[in-house]
Structure 1
Amino acid sequence: MGLPVGRDPAGRARAELFLISAVVTVLVTRGYLAATGYPKIGGDSGLHVAHVLFGGILMLVAMLLVLLTFGSAAERLASLLGGIGFGLFIDELGKFLTSDNNYFFQPAIALMYVIFVIAFLAVRLAPPPRQPQPEVCLGYAYTALADASLGRLDTVHRRHALELLAGCEQDSEVTAVVELLSRERAVPEGRVTRAGRWLLRTTQRLLLTRVAQWLVIAVFVLQAIALIADVVVSVVEQDPGVSTSSNFVDWATALTGLAVGALSVAGVVQLIGRKRLAALRTFHLAMLVSLLIGQVFLFAESQFNALPDLVFNLLVLAALRLTLSAYEARAAAGS
């Protein structure tokens, strides 16, 4: 017997907001503490108010928002505050894992990264229902009507609700809700939303140009050369006196780099052979291997010094996702 709940079609976006705000909070917190010399709230009074307490308070506020209010705006605010609170909590992971409350426990950064990756994969890879259930469609539509009662119903929310209702089994209740939603006046999209959509479309068009494709080839060729060269140097300069744990991290990093380099070479060969869709999928796989496996060992070894590499990989992955979705849409339209 399953839980008496339905999956919210807008839940993925809120979960991603939660995770993004948590990651940004960790980065901002660590950066601020490093820049200010790790000050303590409480000073020399003998008290130390850890920021995990503020994280707990924010998560409590987020929970109370969900329990005491309604409307998508309140849900988004709860996701944001809950993510900030979770970021403040997880940032002190090293203290929870060591007997001496060591905030600088080296594996903590890698463990944080693994936790965020697992959470992100759970959100992104959860299979959507094959056929929307009528109760799920109606539940989402009623949240749209709740927003309308608050004067906060936007065009995207209404359109999505109407599309869901059109795809489920029609009955008198569905018809009545469709009529109500169709009559409700939606709030126009804000300037920020419109600017974001324009930026997304413009970026996608630029990524489909020939210049962008040659840049992709250049990036992955250079990456393949750098990674394979790094593996060779690591093997040649390996010090047998280094501890087993360090050897393991070095070898794991080297093998992951070799795999990413090999995939990059394979993708370049496919792209030169005009197999663009296959090449993009290979490049995408290379970035996923780097992010989901290689980056863990980089954080374990270098901690936040691995952050620039993470940012670069995320930017490349985002560009690949946009380009890949455009090519897949073209392939689907041509079939």
Structure 2
Amino acid sequence: MVRPDAVRSVRLLAVAFGVTVVVTRLYLALTGYPQIGGGEYHLAHALWGGLLLLAGGVVAVLWSNRWVHPATAVCVGVGSGLFVDEVGKFITRRNDYFTPLAAPIIYSTFLAVLGVVVLARRVPRGRPRELAHAAAARLKDLADGPLRPSTRTALLRDLDALGGQRTRPDLAAFADAVRPVIEAAPVEAPSDRVGRVRTALVRLEHVLLPRWAHRLLLAAGAAVLGLLSLVGLAVLIALLSASPDVQIVLDDRTVAPGTRPPALVVASAGEAVVGVLLVLAALALLVGRDRAGTTLCRAGLVIALAGVNVALGYLDAELVVVAVVVELLLLVAATRYRTRFLRDHE
């Protein structure tokens, strides 16, 4: 059965994985790809990734406290990120870290983890077995001290639903017996620290980023990224024309005239679509069509993040790292704009 906190844990794992790969690649590029050990030995970062994976497994096997799953998610996310980042060395005879196939494999792995998050959201939880497993998982928090208010609310909700399941009288009796214990259990006093910080940040956001400024910033970001992406349209036209007078240079490599590398064709076509969507999004935002603008912007960014970047990573691993960071920031800005100004009208 899927744990009640599965989505949060896998999301944390995915974030740890993605951040680890990006930070590792940027660090190595900025420091000239140093080698730890020297001489005969080289302590590759895949080794540290394997150790973190082992540590995460040991933690999950030994303890069952409420901190175990977040700690395991971070260990597994960081460890797998360090390990998978060196996949190029494992799939080539010459141990080539920079092999073009490495970046698409890393990125596809990241997308697969995000896919697990989406699937976990859709797992049904209304049957007696799911309710019983969810209640049993949350009951562990009772042993660690006062329950969090959110945990208590969710636990009582699951017990109420389980108590009404007449197809499993044993589980219904379990729910009826446990409910008084939960009702009498101590509850953590709500902390105002997080709420105060969140309130301060929201106020600062309203002062520094009113609607017109947020719209202008979002439109500018979509326009710049869209125009850059439209370079893919020019590349696609050049590839389809197969003109010997057109020279395409990619990452210090010249594409042979008349050839059409499949990865370059897919990436350029995808970038062209993304560029058109983002430019249209910027225009819609500038004329006040906020709903259409944010929809087009998010659609273009999702296409780029979920598909185009896989082919782009095959062509230029460093470029795709920068692209992912920029696209994610713009996606957050577009989503935040909808949350702040459009959600009440949907």
What TM-score range do you get, normalising by the shorter chain? 0.7 to 0.9
Q: 1:62 to 1:191 in 2, by over 3 A?
A: farther
How many residues in Structure 1 have an aligned counterpart in Structure 2? 326
Matches within 5 A, 1:277-296: 277-296=291-310
TM-score, length-scaled by structure 2:
0.78
CA distance in 2, matches of 1:317, 1:125: 21
Cα RMSD, aligned residues only: 3.4
Matched, 1:225 2:238: no
Partner in structure 2 of residue 3 of structure 1: none
CA distance in 1, matches of 2:259, 2:8: 39
CA distance in 1, matches of 2:22, 2:82: 10
Is this contact kept in 1: 2:214–2:337, CA < 8 A?
no
Partner in structure 1 of residue 17 of structure 2: 22
SS in 2 for 1:100: coil
CA distance in 2, matches of 1:102, 1:299: 15
215, 218, 225: which one aligns with 1:216: 218
Q: Aligned letter for 2:56?
A: A
Deviation at 1:245, TM superposition (A): 7.7
Deviation at 1:102, TM superposition (A): 1.5
2, 5, 8: which one aligns with 1:7: 2
Cα displacement string for residues 179-212 of structure 1 (whole angstroms, at most 9, x for unaligned residues): 3233322335668854675478568868782332
304, 321, 328: which one aligns with 1:314: 328
Is this contact kept in 2: 1:291–1:310, CA < 8 A?
yes
Q: 1:211 to 1:167 in 2, by over 3 A?
A: farther
Is this contact kept in 2: 1:131–1:168, CA < 8 A?
no
Matched, 1:179 2:203: no
CA distance in 1, matches of 2:76, 2:37: 25
Is this contact kept in 2: 1:144–1:161, CA < 8 A?
yes
Structure 2's unaligned 5+ residue stretches are 165-171, 239-244, 249-253
Partner in structure 2 of residue 61 of structure 1: 55
Matches within 5 A, 1:1-335: 6-44=1-39, 46-130=40-124, 132-151=126-145, 153-166=147-160, 170=164, 171-188=172-189, 193-194=194-195, 197-198=198-199, 209-228=211-230, 231-232=233-234, 235=237, 238-239=246-247, 242-243=255-256, 247-268=261-282, 271=285, 276-325=290-339, 329-331=343-345
Is this contact kept in 2: 1:58–1:85, CA < 8 A?
yes
TM-score, length-scaled by structure 1:
0.81
Q: Aligned letter for 1:296?
A: V
Deviation at 1:274, TM superposition (A): 5.8
Q: 1:42 to 1:16 in 2, by over 3 A?
A: same
CA distance in 1, matches of 2:339, 2:35: 48
Q: Aligned letter for 1:181?
A: I
Q: 1:76 to 1:214 in 2, by over 3 A?
A: same
Cα displacement string for residues 300-319 of structure 1 (whole angstroms, at most 9, x for unaligned residues): 22212332322111011122
Cα displacement string for residues 279-304 of structure 1 (whole angstroms, at most 9, x for unaligned residues): 42222111101112222233222212
